[in-house]
Structure 1
């Protein structure tokens, strides 16, 4: 192991180049993925690279690389991920959510028994189902209360109940 890990080289390359390769590889992988998977290794490699430039021993650099990488991972999992995760809200927000709470006009009678119905909301035509399972006639004013798949779930605003 002493051949691979002496004070100035790793596998016959300068230590700072080794850390730079790890840093660049982690950044390239991070950029090419949707999820955060290697950013903590990039931060660990950057820290180790800076330590090498300050002539800190290779053993300390390796230890700091792992400590920084693990700490960054723990911070991400415990503090950052819950704030951006859909698990917190239970739903993944989409552009379709903008129709929630909007008023709409029934274009085609909503009939749960025949599984038909259409509304127009914000200039878009949506398949619709009634919230209470009742039929809603054409030209009735409704409010969108939920979205289920590709269907707007609506309640009639003309009811006097």
Structure 2
């Protein structure tokens, strides 16, 4: 316990408290953002906190904080992110993006005059419009080529079989 009282200080506070604050703030930021932006710093702060608690000097703690944060970021970019992106496009598929390029069946006639139409794709029902404004009949096999708002934009797959 004496290490906690006599250890290093950063900005007049014990180093362990500083690292704990960084860990908590980075965690709160991470929870409140969609993208992974601060998890690396939380990881680095956790390791630095542990180093302070076992009595490692402040310089080493700071260096390790930056190294662990950087390595965490690099590992994510090289190992994790490619598993979640679409075929090297750099786009992480969301629910909507997953239907792009998929085959679907028209379950309610796509009619530009009536502005109606529905498809069944990947277990979901989507409102749909044709890519060229043409009418597409029920039970036609189509491919999703785009998304516009809440509508899947489709083109018929003539001469292909499912």
C-alpha contact (below 8 Å) 1:146/1:154 kept by paired residues: no
> Where does residue 8 of structure 2 map in the other structure?
8
Q: Partner residue of 2:3?
A: none
State the partner residue of 1:3. Answer: none
Partner secondary structure for residue 127 of structure 1: strand
Query: Number of residues paired by the alignment?
Result: 145
Task: Using structure 2 for the length normalisation, give the TM-score.
Answer: 0.69
| TM-score for the superposition, normalised by structure 1 | 0.70
Gapped runs of 5+ residues in structure 2? 1-5
Q: Tell me the SS of whatever aligns to 2:103.
A: coil
Instruction: State the 1:37 CA deviation.
Output: 0.9
Q: Can you list the C-alpha shifts for 1:76-98, whole angstroms capped at 9, x where unaligned?
A: 11111122224625764534729
Moved over 6 A (4+): none
Residue 52 in 1 paired to residue 68 in 2? Answer: no
The correspondence of residues 64-143 of structure 1 with structure 2, limited to 5 A, is 64-86=64-86, 88=88, 92=93, 94-95=95-96, 97=99, 100-104=102-106, 107=109, 119-122=117-120, 125-129=127-131, 139=137, 141-143=139-141
- The separation in 2 between residues aligned to 1:108 and 1:43, in whole angstroms, is 51
Matched, 1:27 2:38: no
How far does residue 64 in structure 1 lie from its aligned partner after superposition?
1.0
Distance 1:37 1:46 in 2: 16
Q: Over the residues paired in the alignment, what is the CA RMSD in angstroms?
A: 3.4
Unaligned residue ranges in structure 1 (runs of 5+)? 1-5
2:37 aligns to what SS in structure 1? coil
State yes or no: 1:144 paired with 2:142. yes
Deviations 1:24-63 (A, max 9, x none): 1111111111111111111111001001110111111111
